[in-house]
Structure 1
Amino acid sequence: MSLYLRDGFDAGLAALPGVTFVDQWEAHIAKVGGKVFCLLSDAAPHRLVFKCGEDSFDILTSLDGVAQAAYFAKRKWVSVEAGSELREADLLAYITRSHGLVAAGLTKKLRVELGIL
């Protein structure tokens, strides 16, 4: 199931601890502890937007179909178009890392409540 479709997006990300989904900003958004870690655009062409580390940001933005995310790039967020060079398994690994990066910024109390160690 494709991460670029709502059902695949939900199925792929729901396994991560503390994840909730909301619809806002013309997108389907995955949050952890109330903080965005990934979004799926509603409009075609579908895109995934997620946070990444500095080294990953440089690597990812050099690939076809991957760009700095509008409004988020300063904070190392990327936008990945459907049909990019990234395979689904790689996308899911980067999104899982995004979840971890955002979750690390939550309070220890909240991380414990959400089951994030």
Structure 2
Amino acid sequence: MFETHQFNPVLDKEFLMENYDTTEYLVEVLGDFLALMPEEIEEIKTAQAEKDKDTVVKKIHAISSAVGFVGGIELSDRMKKFEVKAKTDPDFDITNQESNALVNEIDAFIGIIQEEYNQLS
């Protein structure tokens, strides 16, 4: 069990403890997350550069649940709020500072998951 593991404070340890009963299962889920996310984040960055709002919003929507599933509950909630804001405001600029900050935070989160995966493996 991983009760004694010191998770990064960005992660919701209580959520992880409630949803994963073994270290092996958590490592498997983290590995699956890591296998998919680098490509997803690159697609978001490319869509931002191309000012393709629809793709950015779709990708943020697609990965927000996955972020929550690996303990990034607060980040997942912010991603969902971003999605709603971007969808409802026709003038929302997906290349603005708020958008860039969120994408950078998602990118950093992937790094945190990589660290956790390395420590738990």
What's the TM-score, normalizing by structure 1? Answer: 0.36
**RCO comparison, higher one (Cα < 8 Å, 6+):** 2
Which protein is richer in strand relative to its size?
A: 1
Determine which structure has more spread, i.e. the larger CA radius of gyration: 2
